[in-house]
Copies of this chain bind each other. A is one copy, B any other.
Amino acid sequence: MNVAIMGYGTVGSGVAEVLKKNHEHIVKKSLQESLDLKYILDLRDFPGDPNEKLVIKDFNTILNDETVGVVVETMGGLRPAFEFVSACLKAGKSVVTSNKELVAAKGLELLALAEENNVNFLFEASVGGGIPIIRPIIQCLSANEIEEVAGILNGTTNYILTKMFMQGTAYEDALADAQRLGYAERDPSADVDGIDACRKICILADLCFGREVKPDSFRVEGIRNITSADVGYARAWGGVIKLIASAKSENGGSNISLRVSPAFISGDSQLACVNDVFNAILVRGNALGDVVFYGRGAGKLPTASAVVADVIDCARHSERRKPFGWSDAPDGFVLGEGEFTSRFFVRTQSVKESVLSAFADAEFITFDGAPADETAFVTGMIKKQELDEKLAALGGVKSVIRVTDY
């Protein structure tokens, strides 16, 4: 069986490298006589690249070659990735992708297309890079009703927050550092505004709760507004600040609440120890309790390794579809922002007495060097809508950050 790669960027070239590096091992695992890289589709030329001769410009070469059984899509973006992947599936070729944007936006449609054509559409690498998460959710945790899935899904923002926390670096300087190291793009919006984490949590929510949720159906908040003072308060409280993407079953599974936002994480949480560019995903099952999967959420070889595991799976099970998928979500499935229930950290210009009259259970926090003329506290469990109403009445609110229970 032959393999084609569409998109020879970081991940695509990593896939070629892993296929070569572990070739013998991979062929054996795939139960095929051979598993060879035949084409690399890319508009660019790669003079001097060891795979230079495999590079083609015409997608139809792949589409019309019956020896190509598995196509790897590592182009990124929605178009033409969506059209190419659709065409491959219709032509009876299995497709493996690392493209979270594609899966988050078109996963339901592509899985249906794969099913119709009796091939596989796999996307382990689209969430958590090399961390095995999609298969464990589908198979290993199958005895559980999943109550919540949450995690640190973006390495760039985690690097920035770690630097702010460990070294007291200001946000702008930590971002500049991440850009210098190649962790952040020149336009860092997809990372720092939570867009990347949002796509990933949508995919995890689809898998865990069986309904397709759209990236634009809920509140997404990035880390741009996190200050050194917030970091100081988190430390004084006994924890850290992480960008947490989460999806939680609500009302006995009739709804879910989704959120991407900075959060206070207790220092004894397993997520609190996840530093630098590492990712971690927590899954809470009703029988299992919490399990956490940790590793490199990005990077050439880790991500490529997840792609190649999917390629092996496609080759190994060329006669059979992997058993997952989800269906459309009914209207109102994703709860509105106001329904989101949590504890919250609040900084306000109001005095303690005013805070206590609105939040009798407020737990005040301060630290040496805390900004003057403000009061900081953590609330008890409260609906976001109720919180907003109380804070509007209180006035002088400077920032609000949720507090997780994991």
Interface size class of A (residues with CB under 8 A): 35 or more
* Contacting pair A305 B22 (CB below 8 A): no
* Contacting pair B135 A288 (CB below 8 A): no
The answer to whether A313 has its CB under 8 Å from any CB of chain B is yes
B-chain residues with CB within 8 Å of residue A268 when the two chains form the complex? 275
* Contacting pair A296 B289 (CB below 8 A): yes
The answer for the CA separation of A284 and B247 in the assembled complex, in Å, is 29
The answer to whether A252 has its CB under 8 Å from any CB of chain B is no
B-chain residues with CB within 8 Å of residue A136 when the two chains form the complex? 132, 135-136, 140
* Contacting pair A309 B143 (CB below 8 A): yes
The answer for the CA separation of A68 and B145 in the assembled complex, in Å, is 25
Q: Residue on B with the closest CB to A128?
A: B291
* Contacting pair B294 A294 (CB below 8 A): yes
* Contacting pair B131 A291 (CB below 8 A): yes
| Nearest CB of B to A144, in Å | 5
B-chain residues with CB within 8 Å of residue A289 when the two chains form the complex? 130, 295-296, 299, 301-302
Q: A287-B301, A288-B296, A293-B291 are in contact. Are A309 and B130 (CB under 8 A)?
A: no
| Nearest CB of B to A3, in Å | 12
* Contacting pair A305 B293 (CB below 8 A): no
Q: Of residues A22, A132, A272, A307, which shows the largest number of chain B Cβ atoms within 10 Å of its Cβ?
A: A132
Q: Mark A136-177, 1 if CB is under 8 A from B, else 0.
A: 100111111100000000000000000000000000000000
Q: Residue on B with the closest CB to A312?
A: B142
The answer to whether A57 has its CB under 8 Å from any CB of chain B is no
The answer to whether A21 has its CB under 8 Å from any CB of chain B is yes
The answer to whether A349 has its CB under 8 Å from any CB of chain B is no
Q: Of residues A14, A142, A278, A309, which shows the largest number of chain B Cβ atoms within 10 Å of its Cβ?
A: A142
Q: Mark A109-123, 1 if CB is under 8 A from B, else 0.
A: 000000000000000
* Contacting pair B145 A22 (CB below 8 A): yes
| Nearest CB of B to A46, in Å | 21
The answer for the CA separation of A323 and B320 in the assembled complex, in Å, is 14
| Nearest CB of B to A94, in Å | 15
Contacting B at CB under 8 A, from A266-296, are 268, 270, 272-275, 278, 285-296
B-chain residues with CB within 8 Å of residue A21 when the two chains form the complex? 286-287
Interfacial residues, chain A to chain B (CB-CB below 8 A): 14, 18, 21-22, 25-26, 29, 31, 124, 130-132, 135-136, 139-145, 268, 270, 272-275, 278, 285-296, 299, 301-302, 304-309, 311-313, 316, 323
Q: 15 interchain pairs (CB within 8 A)? A: A14-B287, A25-B145, A29-B142, A29-B143, A130-B285, A130-B288, A131-B291, A135-B139, A142-B312, A268-B275, A270-B294, A285-B305, A289-B301, A289-B302, A290-B296
* Contacts beyond the supplied A29-B142, A132-B139: 17 A-B pairs with Cβ under 8 Å: A18-B287, A21-B286, A21-B287, A22-B287, A124-B140, A130-B291, A132-B140, A132-B291, A135-B140, A141-B305, A142-B312, A272-B273, A285-B305, A287-B308, A288-B295, A289-B299, A294-B294
- Nearest first, the 9 closest Cβ-Cβ pairs linking A and B are A132-B140, A143-B308, A291-B295, A273-B273, A287-B305, A292-B294, A132-B136, A288-B305, A130-B288
